Amino acid sequence: GLSFLPRSDHVYKLSPYQEIDEEEYNKRVDSLGKLDFAKLAYYEKQDNTIGAKEVACVSGACEI
């Protein structure tokens, strides 16, 4: 699904990771159905990729 979050400097707590096995993973993937990424154009009327250029930090390491 899509998440609609406020555009501010607010920080959200990271959700906990949940370990699952391959069978559960495949079950969840199947429940998503077919994704049609072409439909995203309906929501993306302009280029908003500036935020994507920010440094991403994961597991205590940051991209440079």
Q: Is the pLDDT of residue 11 over 80?
A: no
Predicted confidence at residue 54, as pLDDT, reads: 57
Q: What local confidence, expressed as pLDDT, does residue 43 receive?
A: 77
Average pLDDT over residues 37-62: 70
What the block records as the tokens of 55 is 């440094």
Q: Which of 63, 56, 64 has the alpha carbon at shortest distance from 14?
A: 56
Please report the pLDDT score of residue 42 as a whole number: 81
Query: pTM of whole model > 0.85?
Result: no
Q: How far apart are CA 38 and CA 45, in angstroms?
A: 13
Structure tokens at 27: 């079950």
Q: Kindly tell me if the per-residue pLDDT of 41 is higher than 60.
A: yes
